[in-house]
Every structure is written in structure tokens, then in C-alpha cells.
Chain A
């Protein structure tokens, strides 16, 4: 009994620092955001502490008209929907590029593999901002791609590659691709090749082997990779700002604008919380789905 109590005390001590860090760096800031989101806004930036109002949350769906009546408006929701849509596209593109890459890597010899993993992580040595600027040089009217196509005479007008949603999708895919490749690689690497051989012995063709053996075994990696790509895409700020040409906002830019030029902290905080809730909801659904089959097993 005594021993047990001592052990639980030791556990508490061990968990303590981590729990404290979570409370200070996550729970407290989140509580502050929630609190700020229901304060009245101060037009000089900041809030009027203690004046409670739901104005910030009303903005998601309603707009004040000239006579101060509320009308429904989808301005902000459409920005959020666009962010989700662009993040989904990014995830699908990353998967389409990342899976073959990971497969290629996992099927090389041991020494090659180490080198390839190293090369995938290499871009992280450079700041994200710099890498996005590099894409501007590649995509712009007289940039690498258009310059090449023009000089080869394939096109006679530069293609509109930059300052649109296409450029944002390309930039996001590039930025987060390693997060897709590495988890898939790590699950592919563990595949027992004897299973593949057995499938071939049973007269499965290549396509069938891929579909029935390799992909199912890579699912944990694919799911982890998709989550790791989707979530940072949803909150991205730099890429839409630089490559999107400021014509279309993503929710990250909208939040930045509220705290910056618009000086509407409560709405910014509400948007931030909403984004977080969206991510948590998606994660929870995933976790529940993942648990389902196991429970029934």
C-alpha cells in the first residue's frame, strides 16, 4: 500500500514538468484566446477588458447592415472553406507525389536509403520564406519555367503560373511534401518482402500486389502523412501571402489581418479558436474511426 502510494507520487513528479509545460504553454494561452474572443474590441488594437460581447462570434455568419440589423453572410465561411479545399488538394497532391517517392526510397539498398532520407530532409535547412521566394523565381512571367518554354517556342505568351490558387497549391505541396514521404517510407520499409513474393507466387500481377499487399500495409504511414500535411496547410500564412498574390485569403492570413491592420483582436481570437476546433474535430473523427474496427475485433 505504502509502496504503491510512493510510486504514484513518483509518477506525479515525473509527469509534473510535462503537465506544467502543457498548462503554461497550451492551456493558459488557449484560455486567454477564448477570453479575448468574447471581449469588446478596442479600435486602437487590444480589447476593452471586462466588456463581454458575442460580436466576434456573430461575425462568422452574420453581418451588420446599415440599419444595424443582422443579415447572413458567407464571407468568412467562404474563406475557411477555401482553406479546407486548398489543404485537401495539397494533401492529395502530396500523396500522389510522395507515395511513389517513398516506395522508390524503401526499395533501395541500405546505404542508398540513408542518403535518400537525408536528401528528403535537406530542404528544411533553408527557411520556409526563402523557399517560397524561390518558387516566385521559378513560376513568374519571365521565370525559369516560362523562360524555358518561351525560348523553346512552345508558347508565345507566358503562362499565368504565379499569383493564383495553382501557385498556392504547388507551394504548399512542395513545403509539406517531406511530411508525407517520411511516414510512408517508414511504414513501407517495414514491409516483409516475403509477402510480396508469396503474392507473386500465387499469380498476382504487379498492380494487384500493389493494391492488395503494399498499399494496405502502408495505410498507417499514408494516414499519418495526410494528417501531417493537411493540418499545417490549413493554417499556412506565408505561402498564400507570397504565391497567391494577395488576391485570395486563406484563414491564416485572415487571422493575421485581424491582429494587424484590422486591429480586431476578438475576431482574430475567435477565428483562431475556430480553426483549432476544426482540426480537433477532424482528429477526433479519425481517432474514433481508427478505434472502431479494433473494438469490434
Chain B
């Protein structure tokens, strides 16, 4: 009996070893390993890349950028392409966690919209290419709002009409809420002035009794079920609210709305560096970028991708930002440590 188990263990170990050997062999030829948010890359597009290039692609997913950063800081994990947001991208470049792949010299880089040809933290696009981008505004249900419409201003949710009190949901995201407050008050979001931070805190504290909840989860259901009349929201989520509640309106507040960008980058020591470069260049083709947008519901940054978009995406101003709102979009800025510390203290005071 004992002998049997030992034999079993031995053969299991041998099998495991065999598996490792097999996978290293596969790594050596035509493989690409992506590390991305879940539900953020189209399986069809993946199949297309495999067919176009003969490369075998696998995807692992992470739940938060902290996971991604921690894994990279712990020393690569054998991934070839990762999809960090702007904050994380900046940290990664600074800490030397990324491979310099000279995206700006790639064949398809000319397809990138001018506004996205540079990004805070990677100004000359040596390390990263844009993947998806979106905005943070708010969505409302005209049926639940006095007069059937709301002003295109943060004022509408920071100083709500009496009928809306207790029917407002905010995102539970420190930087988005802080930024909105800063835009509304006309303060720089990277302010280092405690008096200005105090103004933002006062604004948020005054609004708090009227806020039903702060949450990032279930924002779509909450709007569809009519639990709240207004929800601070990301535009992709707003698009999906409209799928079930077509009358819902997504607002780009006139004081400014943050647009965030998720990038594609290659971690240091990626096992398939050349394939990773091929992939990133391939993703900057209009048709492929459009396919990615069709799946995620967010905008891409590639010129000429519009004609390949699904009609409902093209028709939705929440996703396809109208020209006239262009000057309301505010790019991410890498704030100083002092400013970030202020922001964090405001957030804690808000929640204590």
C-alpha cells in the first residue's frame, strides 16, 4: 500500500516535470502570453491574431492593478504583454519594469490619434501603446429627475436638487471623486495647497448626506433597476446601461471629465519579445482596434477604426465622444507625492 502511494507520487512528479519541459519547449516557438483584466479582450480577435501570425496566444487575468504591479515587482511572471492603466504605467516606467520597445518607431504608430501619441509617464511612447480609453462622468435616468433633464455640470450631483437627495451614487474611487471635485471648484487636481484640498473636502462632506452609496460594483444594475436616479459612472458602463434603459443619459460635465487610458506594454524579460512587438503593432491596425472596442464597449485610440465599429457603439455619444465635448476631456496627470498625500487624507476624512 505504502509502496503504491510512493510510486504514485513519483509518477505524478515525473508527469509534472514532463509538463514543465513541454511548456518550455512551447515557449521557445511562436507563443505569446497576455496578462489583462478579465473580459477585456475579445476571444475572436485572439483567434484572428493566431490565424494571421501562427502564434499561439494565452491570456491570464488580474483583478486589480495592484496585483499586476505586485507580480511584476516580484520579478516578471513570464508574460509578454500587459495592459496597465496610466498610474501604474508611470510607476512601471520609473521603476524600470518595462522593456523599451520603441512603439513610436513602429509601422502602425502613425495610426494613433495625436492626443494619444504621448502619455504622462511615457511622453515619447517608447514603452507603451494605447489600448482603450474612457471617461468618468455621470449617468441619469430622465424619468427620475425633476424636469426630465440635468445640467451638464458636476454641480448637478455635488449640490443636488431636493428630489435627488438620497438617490445619488458615487464611484468608490479616490482619484475619480477627487478629480471631479477639483474640476468643479476650478482647482488643479494636482494641488499641493492644503487650503484647496480643504475646499474639496468641504464639498464632498456637504454632498455625503445626499449620497446613497459609494461603489464601483454593480453600477449598471443599480441604474437599470432604478435604485438611484444618478450614478457617477465610467462611459463603458453607461453604454451598457443604455442597452437596457435606452433613455438614460451620460453627461460629460462642462467643468471637465477625466479620461483614462489603458496601455499595452512589455514587461522586462518577456520570453517572446519579438512576438510581443508584432502583437502591439498589429493591434494598432484600425480593424483590430475596432474589434477590441466592439467587445469592451470602450473607445480605442486608432484613426480610421470608426468604420469598423458596431452601429450601437458608433451611435452612442457616451462611447463615441462628440467633437464639441473634446475640450471637456482632461488628461491624467502624474501628481506629486505631496498632492497625492493630500488627496488620500481627504478621502480618509470623508470616510471616517
Beta-carbon contacts of B80-112 to A below 8 Å, as 1s and 0s?
000000000001001100000000000000000
B66 within 8 A of partner (CB): yes
Tell whether, in the assembled complex, residue B337 and residue A75 are in contact, meaning their CB atoms are under 8 Å apart. no
Tell whether, in the assembled complex, residue A142 and residue B195 are in contact, meaning their CB atoms are under 8 Å apart. no
C-alpha gap A78/B214 in the complex (Å)? 20
Beta-carbon contacts of A39-75 to B below 8 Å, as 1s and 0s?
0000111100000000000000001011000000001
Contact of A249 among B66, B91, B194, B351 (CB under 8 A): B351
Tell whether, in the assembled complex, residue B213 and residue A78 are in contact, meaning their CB atoms are under 8 Å apart. no
Please give the distance in Å from B212's CB to the nearest CB on chain A.
6
Contact of B352 among A46, A78, A245, A261 (CB under 8 A): A78
Q: Please give, as numbers and ranges, the residues of chain B lying within 8 Å of A140 by CB-CB distance.
A: 227
With CB as the reference atom, state the residue of chain A lying closest to B167: A141
A247 within 8 A of partner (CB): yes
Tell whether, in the assembled complex, residue B348 and residue A247 are in contact, meaning their CB atoms are under 8 Å apart. no
Tell whether, in the assembled complex, residue A245 and residue B214 are in contact, meaning their CB atoms are under 8 Å apart. yes
Tell whether, in the assembled complex, residue A75 and residue B225 are in contact, meaning their CB atoms are under 8 Å apart. no
Tell whether, in the assembled complex, residue B215 and residue A245 are in contact, meaning their CB atoms are under 8 Å apart. yes
B284 within 8 A of partner (CB): no
Please give the distance in Å from A254's CB to the nearest CB on chain B.
7
Tell whether, in the assembled complex, residue B352 and residue A76 are in contact, meaning their CB atoms are under 8 Å apart. yes
Tell whether, in the assembled complex, residue B352 and residue A79 are in contact, meaning their CB atoms are under 8 Å apart. yes
C-alpha gap A264/B341 in the complex (Å)? 10
The verdict on A163 contacting B212 (CB below 8 Å), with A142-B225, A262-B344 known, is yes
With CB as the reference atom, state the residue of chain B lying closest to A82: B352
Tell whether, in the assembled complex, residue B66 and residue A245 are in contact, meaning their CB atoms are under 8 Å apart. no
Please give the distance in Å from A248's CB to the nearest CB on chain B.
7
Residue from B69, B174, B344, B352 having most chain A Cβ neighbours under 10 A: B352
Beta-carbon contacts of A232-256 to B below 8 Å, as 1s and 0s?
0000000000000111110000100
Q: Please give, as numbers and ranges, the residues of chain A lying within 8 Å of B215 by CB-CB distance.
A: 245-246
Q: Please give, as numbers and ranges, the residues of chain B lying within 8 Å of A245 by CB-CB distance.
A: 212-215
C-alpha gap A141/B214 in the complex (Å)? 16
The verdict on A247 contacting B211 (CB below 8 Å), with A43-B340, A76-B348 known, is yes
With CB as the reference atom, state the residue of chain B lying closest to A141: B227
A260 within 8 A of partner (CB): yes
Tell whether, in the assembled complex, residue B91 and residue A247 are in contact, meaning their CB atoms are under 8 Å apart. no
Please give the distance in Å from B311's CB to the nearest CB on chain A.
33
Residue from B69, B214, B351 having most chain A Cβ neighbours under 10 A: B351
Tell whether, in the assembled complex, residue A66 and residue B195 are in contact, meaning their CB atoms are under 8 Å apart. yes
C-alpha gap A65/B172 in the complex (Å)? 26
Secondary structure of the A contact surface, majority rule: loop
Beta-carbon contacts of A182-205 to B below 8 Å, as 1s and 0s?
000000000000000000000000
Q: Please give, as numbers and ranges, the residues of chain A lying within 8 Å of B64 by CB-CB distance.
A: 260
Q: Please give, as numbers and ranges, the residues of chain B lying within 8 Å of A264 by CB-CB distance.
A: 344
B349 within 8 A of partner (CB): yes
Beta-carbon contacts of A111-150 to B below 8 Å, as 1s and 0s?
0000000000000000000000000000011100000000
A174 within 8 A of partner (CB): no
Beta-carbon contacts of B160-186 to A below 8 Å, as 1s and 0s?
000000100000111100000000000
The verdict on A249 contacting B352 (CB below 8 Å), with A141-B227, A261-B174, A264-B344 known, is yes
A35 within 8 A of partner (CB): no
Q: Please give, as numbers and ranges, the residues of chain B lying within 8 Å of A78 by CB-CB distance.
A: 352
Tell whether, in the assembled complex, residue B94 and residue A44 are in contact, meaning their CB atoms are under 8 Å apart. yes
Q: Please give, as numbers and ranges, the residues of chain A lying within 8 Å of B344 by CB-CB distance.
A: 261-262, 264
Q: Please give, as numbers and ranges, the residues of chain B lying within 8 Å of A65 by CB-CB distance.
A: 194
Tell whether, in the assembled complex, residue A247 and residue B66 are in contact, meaning their CB atoms are under 8 Å apart. no
Tell whether, in the assembled complex, residue A260 and residue B348 are in contact, meaning their CB atoms are under 8 Å apart. no
C-alpha gap A79/B349 in the complex (Å)? 10
Q: Please give, as numbers and ranges, the residues of chain A lying within 8 Å of B226 by CB-CB distance.
A: 142
C-alpha gap A206/B344 in the complex (Å)? 57
Could you list 27 examples of A-B contacts with CB < 8 Å?
A: A43-B340, A44-B69, A44-B95, A45-B70, A45-B91, A46-B73, A66-B193, A66-B195, A75-B348, A75-B352, A79-B351, A141-B227, A142-B225, A160-B166, A163-B213, A246-B172, A246-B351, A247-B208, A247-B211, A249-B352, A257-B347, A257-B348, A261-B344, A262-B174, A262-B344, A262-B347, A264-B344
Q: A44-B94, A246-B215 are in contact. List 4 more A-B contacts (CB 8 A).
A: A75-B348, A78-B352, A261-B173, A261-B175
Contacts from A to B (Cβ < 8 Å):
43-46, 63, 65-66, 75-76, 78-79, 140-142, 160, 163, 245-249, 254, 257, 259-262, 264
- Give the 7 A-B residue pairs with the shortest CB-CB distance, closest first: A245-B213, A246-B214, A66-B194, A44-B91, A246-B172, A163-B213, A75-B352
Contacts from B to A (Cβ < 8 Å):
64, 66, 69-70, 73, 91, 94-95, 166, 172-175, 193-195, 208, 211-215, 225-227, 337, 340, 344-345, 347-349, 351-352
